[in-house]
Amino acid sequence: MPRVRVAVAMLLIPLVVLLAFASSRPHLAAQKPRSLSAGAYASDITPRKFPVSVNGHMTDRQVSEVHDPLRARCLVLDDGKTTVAFVIVDSCMIPRDLCDRAKELIQKKTGIPARNVLIAATHTHSAVTLTGAFQSEPVEWYREFVVEQIVHGVERAWQQREPAQVAWGVGEDATQVFNRRWFMKPGTIQPNPFGQVDQVRMNPGYQHPGLIKPAGPTDPQIGFLSVQARDGRPIAFLANYALHYVGGVPGLSADYFGAFAERIQQLLGAEKVHPPFVGIMSNGASGDINNINYAGPAPGKRAPYEQCRLVADSVARKVFAAYQQVAQHHRADVSLAVAEQEIELGVRLPSEADLARAQQILAQARGPVLTTLPEIYARETVLLARYPPTVRLKLQAIRVGSMGIGAIPCEVFCEIGLEIKAKSPLKPTCIIELANGYNGYLPTPQQHEWGGYETWRARSSYLEVRASDKITATLLELLREVSQERPSSEQ
Ligand SMILES: [Zn+2]
C-alpha cells in the first residue's frame, strides 16, 4: 500500500469510529435506564419578630398576627445526570438578588447548579415584604432569614432524596378564575393617576352598570406533577393554577396556596407519611386573573379564610380527579433538562415632563403616608426615574419527562400563558410566574394600549411595551431546547 493511502486510511479509521459512536449515542441514551430520585421539604419562613411590613396594597400594612404559617416549599428531583430544585415561597414577590444569593448557596452546599434551581413567589398578599413595592419596604433581617430557610429547605430535600417515580397531567377548574379587567361603557372610567382615560378598568365592582365584557381570557387548567416513593408513598405534589390570590385573611397567611397544600395532602392520604409530604401550589400566568365574578351579584360576607378554603377545596378536588386518571402510571425512567437565558429589555422611563409633574404633585401632598392614586404614582415616577434604561431578566425552562415548565419573573397576563402553552412542544406545559426575580406586570402590547392598573407606570409595571413578545419568543426557544434533549422513550 502506498504510503499516502496508509496515511489516509489511518485518518479515516478514527473518523469512522467517531461517526459510528456519534450515531449510536442517541440510541444508547434512549436505552440506558434512567433512575429518578426525589426529596421534598417545607421550610418555615414565618417571621419571629413583629410587627412586619406586608405589601400587596398601595399603602403599607404593619402586621403582628400569624393566621397560618408561611413556607418555602422545596422539591428536588434527580435523574442520575441532572438535578432540579423547585422552591415555591409564600411571598408576594421575591427580588432577583435574593433568588441569586439563595441559588449560589444552594450550589455551594448541595452541588445542584444554580441555573437548575427555580425560586418563585406564590403571590400571597398576606406575607412579609421582600422587595420595595408602593409604600412597603423590606427589612434586611427578614430577607436574610428567607435566604437561609430556602437554602436549608433545599438541603433537607436533597439529603432526603430516595428512589422515586413521577406522573403528570392537567386538571381543570373553571369555577374559580375570572378576568379582573373589564371594558367599560364610555364615561364610566375615572381618569388614571396620570390624568388620562383608559379603556379598561381593573376590579370595576359587582354588576357595575358600565360593564361591557372582560378584556381577556381565563385559564382553567391545573397542571400537576405527582412525586412518589417507589412503593407509592406520596413525597410531593406540585400544582400550577393561574389565580392571583384569594385574600380575606387577617394577619400573615399563605392564602389559598397554603390551604391547597393541606387539602391535597388529605385527598392523597398523605397526612401521616414520613418524611412529611409536601403539597405545593405554584402560580400560573395570573397577572389579570382573580377570584371575583363581577358579572354576578356580590356574595354574602365570608368568615376570615373561608373563601381561601373554598377555593383550595374546589381546585384540590378537581386536580385530584385528574391525578386519579394517571395514578397507575407513575414511572421512574424519566429524564430532566434545564435551559436558562437572560434577556435585556427596555424600561418605560418617565420623561422630564413626567418627572416635573410628579415632583409638583408630591410637593403638594400631605405625608408621610400618601393616600391618593396621583400622589402614590407620582412617588413611583420619582423612584422609577432612577432606574437604568434597560434591565436584564432571567427566563428558564425545565422539563420533567414530557412535561414543560416555563418560568417568568413577572406577573404574566393570562393570554401570554395560554399562547406559550399552545405553542410549546411539551405537553403539558405550565407557566410559573414571579420566578427567579421580580420585574412587574407583563401585559401584551394591546393590553398596554387599553390601559388600566396593570399598565400604569410604576415599579410594579415598567418593562417596555413589547416585552411580552420578546419574552414569549425566548421562552418558546428554551422550551424547544429542553424538548430536543428528550430521549426517544419519552416522546
Ligand atoms: Zn399582583
Distance 441 CA to ligand 1 centre (A): 8
Distance 124 CA to ligand 1 centre (A): 9
Q: What is the rounded CA–CA span in Å between residue 255 and residue 199?
A: 31
Distance 99 CA to ligand 1 centre (A): 19
Distance 252 CA to ligand 1 centre (A): 17
Distance 448 CA to ligand 1 centre (A): 16
Burial class (CB in 10 A: 0-12, 13-18, 19+), 478: buried
pLDDT tens digits for 200-228?
999 999 999 999 999 999 999 999 999 99
Distance 112 CA to ligand 1 centre (A): 30
Mean pLDDT of all residues belonging to the chain: 93
pLDDT tens digits for 101-132?
999 999 999 999 999 999 999 999 999 999 99
Give the Cβ contact number of residue 321 at 10 Å: 13
**CB within 8 A of 364, min separation 6: which ones?**
none
Distance 435 CA to ligand 1 centre (A): 13
The closest of 145, 143, 139, 148 to 62, measured between CA atoms, is: 139
Q: What is the rounded CA–CA span in Å between residue 222 and residue 238?
A: 10
The closest of 430, 394, 396, 392 to 286, measured between CA atoms, is: 430
Distance 437 CA to ligand 1 centre (A): 14
For β-strands 117-121 and 83-89, DSSP reports them as parallel
pLDDT at 104: 98
Q: What is the rounded CA–CA span in Å between residue 443 and residue 457?
A: 12
Q: What does the radius of gyration of the chain's CA atoms come to, in whole angstroms?
A: 24
Domain boundaries, the chain: 37-182+200-345+387-490, 350-384
Distance 12 CA to ligand 1 centre (A): 62
| pLDDT average, residue stretch 16-25 | 41
pTM: 0.93
Q: What is the DSSP string of 327-358?
A: GGG-BS---EEEEEEEEEEEB-PPPHHHHHHH
pLDDT tens digits for 51-71?
999 999 999 999 999 999 999
φ, ψ dihedrals at 449, nearest 5°: -65, -40
Distance 56 CA to ligand 1 centre (A): 7
**CB within 8 A of 18, min separation 6: which ones?**
none
pLDDT at 21: 41
The closest of 8, 367, 453, 388 to 194, measured between CA atoms, is: 453
pLDDT tens digits for 434-476?
999 999 999 999 999 999 999 999 999 999 999 999 999 999 9
| pLDDT average, residue stretch 60-89 | 98
pLDDT tens digits for 283-313?
999 999 999 999 999 999 999 999 999 999 9
Q: What is the rounded CA–CA span in Å between residue 75 and residue 280?
A: 9
Percent of the chain's residues with pLDDT above 90: 91
Distance 428 CA to ligand 1 centre (A): 25
Distance 244 CA to ligand 1 centre (A): 6
pLDDT at 33: 58
Residue 17 grid cell? 469510529
| pLDDT at residue 491 tops 80 | no
